[in-house]
Each structure stands twice: as structure tokens, then as C-alpha cells.
Amino acid sequence: MNISRLSAFVLFWALMSAHFSAASTRDVRMTPVVRTVKTVAPAVVNIHTARIVEQEINPFGTLFDDRLFRHFFGDQDLTRRFEQRSLGSGVIIDGGKNLVLTNAHVIEGASTIRVRLLDGRQFDGELVGSDPDFDLAVLHLKDARDLPQVAMGDSSDMMIGETVIAIGNPFGFGNTVTTGVVSAMGRTIETKQGTFTDFIQTDAAINPGNSGGPLMNLAGELVGINTAIYAEAEGIGFAIPIDKARRVVEELVSLGRVQAVWLGLEGQDVDERIAGYLDLPENRGMVVTQVHEPAVDRAGIRPGDVIMAVGSVEIEDRGHYLRVLRNFTLGQEVRLDVVGQGGRRTVSVKLQPFTDEKALDMADRRWGMTVEARGRDLVVARVRAGSPAQQLGLKAGDVLVKVAGNPQASVTDFARAFKRYRMANTVMLLVARDGRGYHVRLRV
């Protein structure tokens, strides 16, 4: 073999070795995380929202409520308007139906929603349904075609220590990937918005803008929706399990909302006398005072029993009991830890629908009033004789402005407020009469 042929041969093998070496190195680098991101990233979207904020011009500041102030000036336009913009993340869960899953707080109050895909396409987003109690919302992308979608996983068999991947849009940087492990399952966190249960806890970084993005397992399956970070500690993030999100999505798509549920129980807080009588170590739980649903009655729960836990969440008081129940959907079966004269026991009860009609009927019996919408206002239609409403001095025709700080503009608003505060002994109302506003306490 002459020198020129030898040189060519050596060069050929050098090039081939470099090629196979590069290919081998690339194979090693193609980890499950890389494969998952390559597969899922096209289905992760950036959500840009704009909302028109209206602020009523009230020269008296907080001395008078804005809605009361409006009574003095009739229909004059005394508002100033400005636009607020925000961003978040979402994930396409059904490419055929153009459906995107995200957090409710990402699109709350949005007047316009714009969704951008990894491939650069942008679409207007229409709100299909949203529920703040679950912090989930479903969007429909207008005029979209050939959309990717993520594969749905199963969050019920997730393992502590399992590697997970969070993808989102933190700080507006576009799709960003963080990894970590599952630290815990079934976590409960308390926020200003309420009590949220059954969270996946992870140390994968979840930054502002990640909200609504997917939490993936190494099989490339959606196992959670990133939703919150714990502000008091570093490296603690939370995601809504996909099994729970799937139930919520079904109701949002079919009904546009999540039906309110209840167990059909009324109750009061545990005091020292009750705790001593039942030999409880502390004043905690909810004492059952009334049973309304046959399913609970068949489970053997009676007035005088104390609900100590709902699922894995220990109940502090009746208010906490109501907040925890808002984490469940219709038809779910929940486990209750109950203490009574027969000792401590565990029962399972299926949740029932808590309709507006049922709530309004209970409001008439418990609070003693009915309401109706008249124009832009919600007014008291009737006050029952001898009821807490009559003892307070309410009259037919009074304008009900707020219940426990929640604005009232419709009968649905009133039914929702009653569902939340039906067990309270005292409820603060803001009532307008003859153009003057009064804060009053309804004592039940």
C-alpha cells in the first residue's frame, strides 16, 4: 500500500470513528428527561392575558362603598379604566378539540387571552370554564388545526422520590424546563384563597409564570398541573394531580362549571365541654347538629358525632370543614373519621350535589330571607317573620350589596355565598336602603 492510499485509509477511519463516537455520545446524552421534553414541549403553551380594570372614582375613599357611592350619582360614568397584562403557562390536553388546561388564576378576569405555541403559532383563547376553588381553567383555541397534545398519565401511583419535570413560562422567557423529585403526595396548603388539598409536592423549581404548565413523569405523561410555590421556603413547589384535574375538566367542558357538592351535614365547633364529654385531646373537629342527606344517615352519622377528618385532612373547625369539601367533585366517595358515643370509627360517604335551589331554600329557613335581582342590584324580596333577618331589621326592598365581603349582583351570587357561610353564627352584610349604606351583622 503506497503512502497516499495509507493516508486516505487512515483519514477514512478517523472520520468514521469520530462519527460513531459523536453518535454514541449523543445517545448517552439522550436521557429520559431530554426525550420527555422533546416530546412534550410542542404541547406546552404560553398564555398572555389582558384585563380591563375599572376603578370607581370615590372622593370619600373607603368611607363609603363604591356601589353605595354610585347610588348618589345614578348612572353617571364615574370610573377610570386601565389595562393590566399578565402571563402564564398551559398545556394542550386535546389537540382534536383544541383544549388547553391551565390555572384559573392565570386567566382570572381576562378580557382577552392570547395563546402562543412553541412553533410560533398564536391563537385567541376562549374560556370554556373555570373554577377558582380548584384553580383550574379550560380554554378553547379559536381556528386552530393540527395541534399537538400531551399524553395523560395516572397520578394515583406516583412514587416518593420519582423524577418529575416541570415545563412552563417563568418570567416570560418562553418554555423553560426544571427537574426534581416527588417529595410528598396528598399535601394540604392554606392560602388567602382557601384550603387546597391533595397536592403533589415537588422540589422542581416552579417560578412565577410556571403556573398552569405541566408536571411530567419520565414516561412523558402528564401527572400534574403546576400551580403554586411556598413563599416561606425554597425548593418547595406544588402541583394539582392530573387525576383530580381530569374530573374537573370533565365538568368544565360539559357544564362550564364545577357543581357544588356537600355531605348534607350542618355543624358547630367543638368546645371544651364537648371535647371533655367525648374524651378528645383538644378542641378540634366539627360537631354534627343536623343530617340532611340519606346517604350520610345510612352511613350511621348522627347529631352529636364529631367529624375529625375528611380524607387525609384533619378538621380544625366547621369553617375548615367547608373549605376542605370544596376540593371534591360530584360522585366522589370521601372517608370520614368520626368520633361519637360508640367510639372512633371511619365511614365512607358519596358526595351529593348542593344545588342553588337547595341553598336558597336553606337560606330562607336559616337566615329568613329570599332575594331577587332587579336591574343591577340584588334586593331582599321577602323576610320571614321571627327569623334572624327580621330581628336584624331587614325589609323587603333593601339592596343586598355584599355578604361577608362578597359582592352580590345575582341570585346565584347569593346562593354561592350561603353555601360558603351557612354554618356561621354571624355574617356581615352590607345593605343599602334609601341610598344609604349600612354594615350589619346577621346573627343566626
**CA–CA dist 319, 285 (Å, integer):** 10
DSSP line for 212-245: T-EEEETTSEEEEEEEEE-TTSTT-EEEEEHHHH
Concerning whether 105 is annotated as a catalytic residue, the answer is: yes
Name residue 3's amino acid.
I
Give me 47's grid cell: 398564555
**CA–CA dist 397, 379 (Å, integer):** 6
Contacts of 373 (CB under 8 A, 6+ apart): 379, 409, 410, 411
Concerning whether 211 is annotated as a catalytic residue, the answer is: yes
Asked if residue 180 lies in contact with residue 33, where contact means CB atoms within 8 angstroms, the answer is no
If one counts every other C-beta atom within 10 angstroms of the C-beta of residue 395, the result is 14
**CA–CA dist 164, 228 (Å, integer):** 16
Residues present in the chain in total = 444
DSSP line for 182-196: EEEEEEEEEETTEEE
**Of 86, 155, 211, 387, which residue is the catalytic one?**
211
Rg of the chain in Å (alpha carbons): 28
**Of 48, 105, 140, 320, which residue is the catalytic one?**
105
Concerning whether 135 is annotated as a catalytic residue, the answer is: yes
**Of 131, 135, 198, 413, which residue is the catalytic one?**
135
| 151-152/221-229 β-pairing | parallel
Q: Looking at residue 410, what DSSP letter applies?
A: S
Quickly list H helices, 61-156: 66-73, 104-107
**CA–CA dist 123, 292 (Å, integer):** 47
**CA–CA dist 345, 251 (Å, integer):** 33
Contacts of 352 (CB under 8 A, 6+ apart): 261, 262, 263, 264, 293, 295, 330
* Residues designated catalytic: 105, 135, 211
